[in-house]
Amino acid sequence: MSDSARFRLGALGKLVAMIVAAGVLVAGLLFPWIGGTGLVARNSASLLDALPVELTDQTPNGNTTVLAADGSVITQFYVNNRTPVTPDQISPVMKQAIVDIEDSRFYEHNGLDVQGTLRALAKNVAAGSVQEGGSTLTQQLVKQTLLQTADTAADRQAATEQTPGRKLREARLALALEQEYSKDEILTRYLNIAYFGHGAYGIQAAAQTYFSVNASDLTLPQASVLAGLVQSPSSDDPLVDPTAAQNRRNQVLGRMLDLGHISEQEFAEVSASPVQTVEGARPPNGCAYAAIGGFFCAYLEQYLTGTLGLTQTQIDNGGWTIQTTLRPDMQAAGDQAVLDSLPMGADLAGMYTAVEPGTGKVLAMSVNRRYGCDGAVDPACESVVLNVVPSQGSGSTYKVFTAASALEQGYGINYRLTTSDPYYSRVFKKNGGTRGPAYGPIGNVGTLPNTLTMHDALVRSSNTYFVAMQDTLGSVEGPVTMAQRMGLNLPDAKAQEIIDGRMGSFTLGPFATSPLHLASAYSTLAASGTQCDPTPVVQILDRSGQPLTGDDGQPVVKDDNCTPEAIPAGVADTLSQALIDDVRSGTGTRAAVPGHEIAGKTGTSQSRFSAAFVGFLPEYTASVMVLNPKGNQDVGSYGGGRPAQIWHDAMEPILDQAPTRPFPPADPAVAAGTKGGGAVVQRPDPDRSSTSTSPRRPSRPAPSSSAPAPAPAPEPVPAPEPVPAPAPEPAPPAPDLNGDGQPG
């Protein structure tokens, strides 16, 4: 038998088999329903009851779009790249082309077209290739909807298995859809869900991918190419194989000509021309491809799933619009300021994190890293949001918590303490608890007066004063709970561990601290005591433009992240006024921006493993931390050096855009206090239980003495490296006025 004979025999067999299958299908349909001019349901309610919820949605979900505060697109989240469009956003010629090649009797049948199916089968079998679609567009819509919304492998297999049962179910659902929706709605939904290749789902994504136009602007040459793609997107890909795409396009044009929908002249002109494409860029997908603020984007994603309880599947397939708090101008300024100080991918990471006082809106997150790329290829890549993760202490920034607690308990801003240098705690032990040698020695970098007020101790960042102030308070509980009330996000278990363990080091900030929550805590001062949890999102709109709601029917984004008077306004305002002098004349002068009143505090952890600066105004609060996130490394400067400079460079272009508000005045009653003028406290003499009034060093106790073992001599304090300032230098380098390598 010749090859041609074998082919004809095989084709005949296929045709007979398909006719039999079609007969089974028709029989299955006619058994429960009665046909008229088409196939109409005897009991329409039972048909509609069969519709899965996925088929009752009028439009498929599209990409979730993430917007910055100014409305610009940061990125999108999606599994299938799709932008649903309405019927009037699709060119009429596109609708005509897809109907003509896929389902020419679309406007005549009721969802199932036996005549068209048999005709297509005969034509395709005879040609040995797909020349014409067999299923109706409505049936294809059912299949693609069930396939693309399948949650499990079993559901996906059920949507594609080649069995009469699956075909029968598709046909019945198609009949139900035809009774529920108009032809134009069904056609639009089909064009919104069809796959056109290159990751483009739906006609808008396809128009953008292949021609860089909107679906409403598609021309006959373009529409005929796209209409030909749905049967075999890879085989007829115009970007990969223009010749195959041209042949398939001409088949579409020929069908449109046969049906009288284009003229002989249109057919001749278009079919003789090569396929002309204008490839469009694929929309960004995920935070690794964010246009700006990749680390902010990753923090947002964590917030959506962790705080708001949304799933990644919902985010990727929701078709939502997420309005975020990110300010592109602040993000860009922060990015540049960090990179001006630390190269991209340097061992030391610089994190600049800005929030808005009184709202908690996160305005910017900058790091000298790239988010989400391959670290094996580029060492500057980072997948951890360093702005959020606690990794090193922030040193003397914690003194503000002690000061706030003392002010609240009646110790005025000018409360005086006289301490020796070095100083040993009268209350706390070196290893915590109630037994053992005294906590110390505590010293200051440089020469500081033995007697300081709280105001001056803040400005000059005295270690000895604030350990002595903790002694005066008698417990770390007040400072620890104050830090929590201000928003430091110290877990309750950790806070209780510090309190129960009587850890006198708390005020010197040795505990790993999140840059974001450090900024958030200081923003409580800027907002006169109103504490707001950080938030990266303003609202989430569903695909219809309405606020996204949860199971309780309420919007998932709630305006309930702030606590007014978390700390007394008088305490916050009095402390802010003192911290203005830290930037004006203390350890944070490098952060000063002429013409603006800025408050702030420097901090440096033990051995200079991190350096920090937090600056704030009524409008903005931002923290800067410099550290090696992978290990301990001397950062080479104190908080008043590189961190304060980064803060200045990031904020100066923002502050120069408009005048800023003055801080509220200090509360006279809080500033004055109720606890008197202060006390004289010195390091304890191990030979005596009383406090010595002279700063002599402790003598070694006799072996039989029950006195605490002598504290070791202070470790040598490394001199800070000079930090070069850009020319012209906005402020002279801050003098080293503070402690034992811990303060700024």
Instruction: Please name each of the domains of the chain with its CATH number.
Output: 3-63+81-271 (1.10.3810.10), 326-535+560-698+736-744 (3.40.710.10)
Judged by DSSP in three states, 522 sits in helix
Tell me: the pLDDT tens digits for 186-210?
A: 999 999 999 999 999 999 999 999 9
Cβ count near 181 (within 10 Å): 18
pLDDT given for residue 51 in this prediction = 66
Reply yes or no on whether the pLDDT at 723 is more than 70.
no
pLDDT given for residue 168 in this prediction = 85
pLDDT given for residue 447 in this prediction = 84
Tell me: the pLDDT tens digits for 526-575?
A: 999 999 999 999 999 998 899 999 999 999 999 999 999 999 999 999 99
Residue 640 CB-density burial (10 A; 0-12 exposed, 13-18 middle, 19+ buried): buried
pLDDT given for residue 36 in this prediction = 37
Reply yes or no on whether the pLDDT at 737 is more than 90.
no
pLDDT category at 741 given cuts 50, 70, 90 is very low
Q: CA-CA distance, 220 to 92, in Å (whole number)? A: 10
pLDDT category at 735 given cuts 50, 70, 90 is very low
Reply yes or no on whether the pLDDT at 117 is more than 70.
no
Q: Which of 396, 406, 361, 458 is nearest to 568 (CA)?
A: 406
**319, 322, 323, 324: CA torsion to nearest 10:** -150
Tell me: the pLDDT tens digits for 606-646?
A: 999 999 999 999 999 999 999 999 999 999 999 999 999 99
Q: CA-CA distance, 160 to 731, in Å (whole number)? A: 70
Tell me: the pLDDT tens digits for 364-398?
A: 999 999 999 887 888 899 999 999 999 999 999 99
pLDDT given for residue 125 in this prediction = 64
Cβ count near 652 (within 10 Å): 17
DSSP 409-441: TT--TT-EEE--SSB--SS-BTTSSSSSSBS--
CA 702, distance to chain mean position in Å, is 61
Q: CA-CA distance, 336 to 328, in Å (whole number)? A: 12
pLDDT category at 676 given cuts 50, 70, 90 is confident
Give CA angle at 213 (210, 215), nearest 5°.
Answer: 95
pLDDT given for residue 159 in this prediction = 76
pLDDT given for residue 694 in this prediction = 31
pLDDT given for residue 61 in this prediction = 84
Q: CA-CA distance, 619 to 615, in Å (whole number)? A: 11
Reply yes or no on whether the pLDDT at 446 is more than 60.
yes
Using N-to-C axis directions, what is the helix angle for 92-102 and 137-148, rounded to 10°? 100
Tell me: the pLDDT tens digits for 473-516?
A: 999 999 999 999 999 999 999 999 999 999 999 999 999 999 99
Q: CA-CA distance, 201 to 233, in Å (whole number)? A: 11
pLDDT given for residue 164 in this prediction = 81
